[in-house]
Structure 1
């Protein structure tokens, strides 16, 4: 996996059909937090 320095997007490589499921990303800072589900 890697995070784009330009967009901040998280990219996950080499996935398989067995990786199917629901994923969430929680990002926090000293000012705020955000949760996204895909």
Structure 2
């Protein structure tokens, strides 16, 4: 049970990190576009 909970936690952390990383790249690209224009 504890091992399964640990794997689920790592899985959710990986999803959360990938989503925030993706959103950060979109935000950074939008800022770069607005700054150049």
TM-score range, shorter chain: under 0.3
> Higher relative CO (CA 8 A, sep ≥ 6), structure 1 or 2?
1
Structure index of larger Rg? 2
**TM-score, normalised by the number of residues in structure 2:** 0.14
Higher helix share: 2
Higher strand share: 1
